[in-house]
Structure 1
Amino acid sequence: MRIQVKDFMSTPVTTAIGEDSVHDIRTLMKEKGIHAIPIISYTNDKLKVEITIRGIVTATDLNKVVHENTTIDDVMTSSNVYVVHVDSSAQAAAKMMLRYNVHHLVVMEEGDIKGMISSLDFVKLVAEHSLG
C-alpha cells in the first residue's frame, strides 16, 4: 500500500500575512495547537484569487523574539519553505524533510494550500500503521 501525503496531512491550514504581529501569531498557534503557519500574500483578480507563499513562521522562530509588536515579516523564514504535492508519497515527503532538515512541508495542489505535514504527522503515521 502506497501512502500518499493526502492520507496523513493536517488540515485545515491556518495561514497569516506578514503584517500580523508576533503576539497575534503566538496566540493563534496556542489556540489552534499548531507549531507552524505559512505566511501568504494574495492578489485578487476578478476571475481568481492567487495565493503566494512568502514564508513560514514556526514556534521556534517566535521563541527568538522578545517584542510582541514585531511583525511576522521580520521573523519568518522566507528562504526555506518547501512544498509537496498532495499525491506525493509519504516516502518522498520524508526524504525531502531529511534532505533539507526541515520539520514542516506545505501541501499544495493546483496553486492552493491543501494541508501541512510536520514531523509529528510522521510519528502519528507510524503509530497508526503496523510496521512489522
Structure 2
Amino acid sequence: MRIQVKDFMSAPVTTAMEDHNVLEIRLLMKEEGIHAIPIISYSNDSLKVEMTIQGIITTTDINKEVSEDATVADIMTSSHIHLVHPDSSAKSAAKMMLKHHVHHIIVMEEGKIIGMVSSLDFTRLVAEHSLG
C-alpha cells in the first residue's frame, strides 16, 4: 500500500503575513495547537491575484527572545522552504525532511497551500499503521 502525503497531512493550514506581530502569532499558535505557519503575500495584477510563500515561522522561532514590536518578517525562515505535492509518497516526503533537517513541509497543489506535513504527522502515521 503506497501512502501519499494527502493521506496524512494536516489541513486546513493557518497562514500569516510578514507584518503580523510575533506576539500575536505566538498566541495564535498556542490557541490552535499548531507548530508552524507559512508566511504568505499576495501580488495582484489586472488578471489575477497570486499567492507567494515568503517563509515559515515555527514554535522554535517564536520562542526566541524578541521585542514586543517584532514582526514575523524579523524572525521567520525565508530560505529553505520545502514544498511537496499531495500525491507524493510519504517516503519521498520523509526523505525530503531528513535530507534538509526540517520538521515541516508545505503541501501545495495548483498554486495553493492545501496542507502541511510535520514530523508529528509522521509519528501519528506510524502509530496508526501496523509495523509488523
Q: Deviations over 1:19-38 (max 9, x none)?
A: 00011100110111000000
Specify every segment of 5 or more residues in structure 2 that has no aligned partner in the other structure, as ranges: none
Aligned length: 132
Q: Deviations over 1:15-60 (max 9, x none)?
A: 0000000111001101110000000001234543211000000010
Q: Which one-letter code corresponds to 1:104 in the other structure?
A: H
SS in 1 for 2:127: helix
Paired position in structure 2 for 1:53 = 53
Q: After TM superposition, what 4+ stretches of structure 1 lie above 6 angstroms from structure 2?
A: none
Paired position in structure 1 for 2:114 = 114
Give the TM-score normalised by the residue count of structure 2: 0.96
| CA-CA distance at 1:67 after TM superposition | 1.4
Paired position in structure 1 for 2:91 = 91
| Mapping 1:113-132, distance limit 5 Å | 113-132=113-132
- Worse overlay, 67-76 or 91-100: 67-76
Q: Deviations over 1:78-100 (max 9, x none)?
A: 01210001100000000000000
| Mapping 1:1-132, distance limit 5 Å | 1-45=1-45, 47-132=47-132
Q: Deviations over 1:61-112 (max 9, x none)?
A: 1111331320000100001210001100000000000000000000001110
Q: Distance in 2 between matches of 1:54 and 1:117?
A: 18
Q: Distance in 2 between matches of 1:65 and 1:112?
A: 32
Once superposed, what is the RMSD of the aligned Cα atoms?
1.0
Q: Distance in 2 between matches of 1:68 and 1:95?
A: 37
